[in-house]
Chain A
């Protein structure tokens, strides 16, 4: 652990040739993984990630330097190199304030202390449960992961913060087979929790869900093609808002005029039934932390209120460029990335409609019970998604299962075309990739009905 005196002198040194702001991020992360397939534990691994990064912001520009295995000597060298790379006037530095530390998640059972044998037992339970679900399940892949990230953050504005982030995730992929046909089902919840995670999410439950989807897809027909109304179910369905809209609200693209939502604060950008939130404070949620990766307290940010754009997601650099307050949204995968504005736990707030009401309005459409992944281009909000579990809607009723459905459209259009919002808010677990690496992100929503989306499949 590095002393306050050293951190103060690093900041001073980094800014000695100029610059408006400097921050230091020091990380030590322990992770444990177990990989399992073909009825065997394939790998048991443990690792330590350990490094530090120094950033100096000057004007609208920044320099970022990092190294692994930081020592006092290496850090002083980084600070020297950082100062040499800055082309700016010198400004004042505040000494560090009082150290802030807060454990918002209250980890009950730190996973580092749990014996590997116990973790392997969970993996074996999952394998059995998936195979017991149906004889059609021929292969089960299980991945166990726990990480504990300990970060120290200090900056030239006096912020001095420590934060511990423990996360646990359990992922089961089942492969079901019938004749020549092979289908896969996937379920992988994760939380900011320790080993107590498995009280709520038993390996059996997770495995059965993945097996259920794989078996269902064996019976599914290819999805049809064309524009039609779509109901997207709750939980991981929130990935649609995350991709189609959330990324375009990040300062990373907004500040550089590379988002369709640049300059639209206070304007109506979505249907009046849509309110959306990003909340990094939800206890135990996958994307939560007490502080963001710039040392700001995380908070609940109302992004869209009844269709009106209320706030962007803004990091330090974004706040300088946009003259917008920071929102506690500066995040990064590790010390190997400078922070940028990112989502944490992002969701569409619950409305009043029920699934039955939504179905009753559709004669021919698609019900997406479980979404797969997707991506977006923030400049145009062109998005694409795959649907893991889908059904045809025929005359207001859920009909046969479908596979291979893709949804495409424009984010700025889909949020205007959300006609109904359900009352069953829930969340799903994901890893979100962007310029500052891959970070844990929760996506959420109640079921929503979208008036028309392009559905791409191979069926008629």
Chain B
């Protein structure tokens, strides 16, 4: 344990002793972040932070009370504990309202890299400036690079509860983000690229610059498309963002709680076919990614879980609440955005398994259709319960089995549950270094409604 946590640990142990007749859970995290942004060959912004907070949950007679504080003094922790105990008086009892009860001690540093934490501010400044420079140099039509950034996050988490859970986790992550604006005559287009890695040396700045510039340039001079139903190839990015919106969300149909409460269309379908043979969906918290962790935010150990195998629905995801309501074990998917929030059910590093083909083979298989490279409005244009979606999109025509002219604006509409069944082919290109909380390869979809002109 680092010194930064030792004082808090002592107070928490005292409070657990003092309130020994109550069932309590303490969750404490400390996050240090650094972010550097280059703009016009200068360091335009340098952000450095350290934020910490603690939450308490109290389970009492089938009820749960919650309170959090960013004030970490003896008095504040005492007051927050009291508030959580007080909040546990309210509401109707629910059999799920229990604190995770498998005692144990996990000390996790599998995702910690000391070199990320010790990377110097000068090196970070150089990285951001280099990223901006590389982006400008790729093409004369790049007229602005509003964001060329790099940064890192160091996170310590501790969970301690009355049932003997005593876990600590330490992890690091670094990233770059670049966005650029391309102009040709009156036409303006934007491209961007986000990349994460365990250490700075693994970040490939050339790739970031190249992919952002390619995206912006490829859309210059984009035209429109006739409205209608088309076979569609979703790029790895577009497919990932669509799946993330449906699956990496607390409204996910794969959440056991949503199934229990009649808010999922796949309720009662375990063991049944809900997707095409090519649809294998899994979550692997133990591989590096945006959500990697060895234990979930309630203290349950994590493991790789298959949600769908070759189209057959295997299991929904459980946190302790949903599991206790069915008298079964959690799958280790109790998660919270931070100490400020309650426990939800979310996957860590969910993905759709790769295929073996190249993306261009999907164009060939598609023949004539639409290649969608970006989806927009995912926070508003989808309904996780019905599965319906209608979204802004960008992309290209597919003609004669090849990528054709760019399409600047269209909408694409369909239903997520129909789409699972309509996956006809998949590529081998899912990304492991993306910010999107889902990783899918490019997919060939039988057909979707497209609106253009």
Contacts and interface: CB of A to CB of B under 8 A. Distances in A.
A336 B48 CA distance: 10
B380 A385 contact: yes
A377 interface: yes
A173 B107 CA distance: 41
Contact of B190 (A51, A257, A377): A377
B435 to A, nearest CB: 15
Nearest to A388: B380
Residue from B377, B391, B409 whose CB has the most chain A CB atoms within 10 Å: B377
A125 B345 CA distance: 28
Interface string A38-82: 111111111111110000000111111111110000000000010
Interface residues of B, number: 77
Contacts of B47: 63-65, 338
A46 B87 contact: yes
B414 A458 contact: yes
B390 A404 contact: yes
Contacts of B64: 43
Contact of B390 (A50, A377, A386): A386
Interface stretch (B19-27, B156-164, B258-266, B349-357): B258-266
A85 B452 CA distance: 50
Nearest to A41: B91
B190 A384 contact: no
Contact of B409 (A68, A183, A382): A382
A66 B31 CA distance: 11
B377 A406 contact: yes
Nearest to B55: A47
B92 A39 contact: yes
A45 B181 contact: no
A386 B376 CA distance: 11
Contacts of A41: 90-92
Interface stretch (B196-204, B381-389, B398-406): B381-389
A409 B409 CA distance: 7
B340 interface: yes
B83 interface: yes
A189 interface: no
B307 to A, nearest CB: 21
A50 B49 contact: no
A13 interface: no
A380 B146 contact: no
A137 B212 CA distance: 46
A139 B449 CA distance: 30
B45 A374 contact: no
B42 A374 contact: no
Interface stretch (B70-78, B131-139, B168-176, B326-334): B70-78
Contacts of A44: 65-66, 87-88, 90-91
A361 B50 CA distance: 58
A458 B263 contact: no
Contact of B411 (A49, A69, A181, A454): A454
Interface in B67-125: 67-73, 76, 80, 83, 86-88, 90-92, 94, 121
Contacts of B377: 373-375, 384-386, 406
A65 B49 contact: yes
A256 interface: yes
Contacts of B69: 47-48, 50
Interface string B417-453: 0000000000000000000000000000000011111
Contact of B342 (A45, A85, A138, A225): A45
A270 to B, nearest CB: 18
How many of chain A's residues touch chain B, expressed as a range?
A: 35 or more
A97 interface: no
Contacts of B409: 382, 408-410, 454
Contact of A68 (B52, B146, B410): B52
A406 B411 contact: yes
A156 B290 CA distance: 39
B76 A458 contact: no
Contacts of A67: 49-51
Contacts of B413: 222, 225, 404, 406, 456-458
Given A227-B453, A380-B189, A63 B46 contact: yes
B144 interface: yes
A34 B449 CA distance: 40
B209 interface: no
A406 B390 contact: yes
Contacts of B228: 225
A287 to B, nearest CB: 19
B156 to A, nearest CB: 13
B394 to A, nearest CB: 8
B274 interface: no
A130 interface: no
Contacts of A35: 342
Given A47-B340, A50-B70, A374 B411 contact: no
B53 interface: yes
B9 to A, nearest CB: 16
A22 interface: no
| 10 A-B pairs with least C-beta separation | A456-B411, A41-B91, A384-B392, A373-B380, A225-B451, A384-B377, A456-B451, A406-B390, A45-B66, A386-B381
7 contacts: A51-B70, A226-B453, A379-B190, A454-B411, A456-B411, A456-B451, A458-B388
Interface of A: 35, 37-51, 59-69, 81, 85, 87, 116-117, 120, 138-139, 175, 177, 181-184, 222-223, 225-227, 253, 256-258, 260, 336, 338, 372-375, 377, 379-380, 382-386, 403-406, 408-410, 454-458
Given A117-B90, A375-B376, A458-B388, 13 more contacts: A43-B342, A45-B65, A47-B55, A47-B340, A49-B70, A61-B45, A64-B47, A65-B47, A69-B71, A258-B181, A338-B45, A406-B381, A408-B411
